[in-house]
Structure 1
Amino acid sequence: MIAICIALLAIGVARAETSSPAAMDAARSLAVTLKVADQYKSLLPGILLRLRPTLSQDRPEIERDFDAAMPAILEANQSKYSTSMIEGAAALYAKIFSTDELRAIDAFYRSPAGQKYIEKSHELSEINQKVSDEISREAADEMKERITQSLREKGHKL
């Protein structure tokens, strides 16, 4: 997820210059509607927690100071990078969609159904991942059985 955010920033900011002002305005509106900044903000604690072992070196005194510094660092970075995330996402959206398409997508996500979709999207992603994992396991088991049977029919001992 972090890599996607970084790529989004790098690609989006570089391409912002090629989109029309109207497309960028529509794309920014969509990025705000989609709560891109909030999605980024939710990643920050994980980023910091992954840094903790490296920086603290399993030293309790550093861990305490690290933990104490986390809220201020999170606050500073949330506001600092939220605008960048919106601009990066907007540039990407404006590159892919026309101004009219952006407005239509934004209108959907501002609707009650769109807002519910945004609200439930994380839960849906988790459920879809679980379903996908289960189906993949079943498919792997079935394919393994068929390949094993085929190989045994060819005289291989497995």
Structure 2
Amino acid sequence: MSFHTKFARSAAVAATLLGLGAFSVASAQDATPEQLAAAQRALEALGITAQFDDILPNQADLVQAQLTQVYPNYHDLIDEVVTDTAISLASRRGDLEQEATQIYANVFTEDELNQLADFYGSDVGKKFIQYGPIAARELSQAGDIWARGIARDLNTQAQEELNKRITAQGGTPVEVPAPTTAPAAQ
């Protein structure tokens, strides 16, 4: 059984038993308990801290791989020790949640946090979280295409107009190669 599978099962049991999702706001500074609760609600709606869920399993995989290279004959024992150690460290995930909550409470007002939680907890907010990055990427690509088209047309039209004016003054026009374009700002 892979470490991820074994760890995921064990961590789920540990999280349930230890109540890792709930934490005390008593140690938080600079924010009211209501503001911290609103921050936690907003973070849950946004799903921002989910990106940290794989840190401990990934680090455990690395440690297990390193130890297995040093002690190749003890793979089963290494698996057991690393899994047990990782599970014992799982409670520290709550510290990261507290830190994230405090950060959001320091940046946003309670009212703003409630608005964020309400919006991102709604169907349209959930859709925005899911599809917003795709739309942003496609918009960036559209901007790049538009920038290349504008650069091409600007160069062509400016070159044609310049040639007309140079010819009107009795000069000899010169063709200048089209400039390369930079991608649109992201």
TM-score under structure 2 length normalisation: 0.48
Q: RCO (CA 8 Å, sep 6+): is it higher in 1 or 2? A: 1
Contact 2:120 2:129 in 1 (8 A): yes
**Is residue 39 from structure 1 mapped to residue 51 from structure 2 by the alignment?**
yes
Q: 1:30 Cα shift?
A: 1.7
Identity of aligned residues (%): 23
2:113 corresponds to: 102
Q: 1:119 Cα shift?
A: 4.8
Separation of aligned partners in 1, 2:106 and 2:62: 33
Bigger Rg, which one: 2
Deviation track 1:93-121 (CA, whole Å, cap 9, x = no partner) reads 01111111111111111111322344567
Aligned CA distance change for structure 1 residues 112 and 60 (closer, same or farther; 3 Å):
same
Deviation track 1:64-121 (CA, whole Å, cap 9, x = no partner) reads 322234444444433x023212211000001111111111111111111322344567
Amino acid at match of 1:67: D
Structure with bigger helix share is 1
Amino acid at match of 2:114: R
Separation of aligned partners in 1, 2:75 and 2:130: 34
Contact 1:32 1:86 in 2 (8 A): no
**How many residue pairs get matched?**
117
What are structure 1's unaligned runs of at least 5 residues?
A: 1-12, 136-145, 147-158
Q: Is the deviation greater in 60-69 or in 94-103?
A: 60-69
Secondary structure of the residue that 1:18 maps to in structure 2?
coil
Amino acid at match of 1:84: D
Aligned CA distance change for structure 1 residues 25 and 69 (closer, same or farther; 3 Å):
same
Separation of aligned partners in 1, 2:86 and 2:79: 11
Q: 1:25 Cα shift?
A: 1.4
Aligned CA distance change for structure 1 residues 71 and 106 (closer, same or farther; 3 Å):
same
2:72 maps to which of 54, 60, 64? 60
Aligned CA distance change for structure 1 residues 64 and 115 (closer, same or farther; 3 Å):
same
TM-score under structure 1 length normalisation: 0.55
Secondary structure of the residue that 2:70 maps to in structure 1?
coil
What are structure 2's unaligned runs of at least 5 residues?
A: 1-24, 145-178, 180-186
Amino acid at match of 1:46: N
